[in-house]
Amino acid sequence: MIEIRNVWKEYGDQVVLERVNLRIEDGEFCSMVGASGCGKSTFLRLLLGQERPTRGTILLDGAPLPAEPDAHRGVVFQRYSVFPHLSVLRNVLLGLELPHARFTGRLFGARRLIARDEAVAMLTRVGLADALDKYPHQLSGGMQQRLALAQALVMKPRVLLLDEPFGALDPGIRRDMHELLLKLWHETGLTIFMVTHDLKEGFTLGSRMLVFDKVRVDPQAPGAYGARITYNIPLERNRDAQHGPAAAMPDALAL
């Protein structure tokens, strides 16, 4: 379980997030939406451990979040998550090898074979079994994002953080990626946090929708107030409802 208690994040005199409180059970899929620049990516970086809250606490299973990113939390960004100079297979193997072979970055013998099997199995799950020796520039955008997902998931993270992972993809490819992500989510029971600018994508995919918004705005001092989670909407019950929770959203929600 992830618990966020009264978290604030400030950069200099700019308040980006204020009074964020949240409790998320294992296995939830949280879609996060909000106006551009309101702090969604910052929130993901806090969950990743890449940034520390200015105030407040983030607890993972009751214990403070480790101060640095670790294998418990995988991350996929909109672009550039993969290493361009490594083959598809090496991109996925790297994460498995590095913790055991810090200096060479490579495993040998039986351990390497086991790691290779794991990497190939994961690449097969995301539909890249035929592209093991290709390099990222030889892949389509959708394939690159499949690779980025495989790279994150092979580490068996408990939490997957996705920052607009499908934002750069064509609609048809996006739909394929949605199906793949839902399949992987159901298979693994992962907890997922996904930032999206696409409200429909958020409602279709998530089990919960989190809306970030600034409640207070001072035109004289744009950085004085930060965003909060203004809506926290469970979606399971509502997903198939004809008008769904989207109908309840404020018109002013500019995404």
Which residue, 44 or 235, has its beta carbon nearer to ligand ATP?
Answer: 44
Binding ligand ATP (rule: CB under 6 A), the pick from 11, 23, 84, 99 is 11
Which residue, 28 or 164, has its beta carbon nearer to ligand ATP?
Answer: 164
Which residue, 52 or 239, has its beta carbon nearer to ligand ATP?
Answer: 52
- Taking CB under 6 A as the binding criterion, the range among 39-47, 103-111, 117-125, 174-182 that sits at the site for ligand ATP is 39-47
Binding ligand ATP (rule: CB under 6 A), the pick from 7, 15, 30, 39 is 39
d(CA 113, CA 121): 12
Binding ligand ATP (rule: CB under 6 A), the pick from 42, 151, 191, 196 is 42
Q: Does 80 bind ligand ATP (CB under 6 A)?
A: no
CB of 212 to ligand ATP, least distance (A): 7
Q: Does 16 bind ligand ATP (CB under 6 A)?
A: yes
Listed residue (75, 46, 204, 90) closest to 145, CA to CA: 75
CA distance from start to end of the chain: 29
Q: Which two tokens stand for residue 252?
A: 């002013």
Which residue, 42 or 191, has its beta carbon nearer to ligand ATP?
Answer: 42
Q: Does 226 bind ligand ATP (CB under 6 A)?
A: no
Q: Does 37 bind ligand ATP (CB under 6 A)?
A: yes
Residue 80: CB atoms within 10 A of its CB come to 10
d(CA 43, CA 145): 22
- Taking CB under 6 A as the binding criterion, the range among 34-42, 59-67, 119-127, 235-243 that sits at the site for ligand ATP is 34-42
- Taking CB under 6 A as the binding criterion, the range among 37-45, 143-151, 230-238, 239-247 that sits at the site for ligand ATP is 37-45
DSSP 8-state assignment for residue 202 = H
Which residue, 41 or 188, has its beta carbon nearer to ligand ATP?
Answer: 41
Q: Which two tokens stand for residue 234?
A: 């469970």
Sign of CA dihedral 143, 148, 151, 152: negative
Q: What are phi and psi of 211, to 5 degrees?
A: -110, 125
The count of residues interacting with ligand ATP (CB under 6 A) is: 10
Q: Where are the beta strands (DSSP E) in 35-167?
A: 55-60, 63-64, 73-76, 159-163
Q: Alpha carbon of 99 to those of 15, 65, 104: distances in Å?
A: 37, 20, 11
- Interface residues toward ligand ATP, by CB under 6 A: 11, 16, 34, 36-42
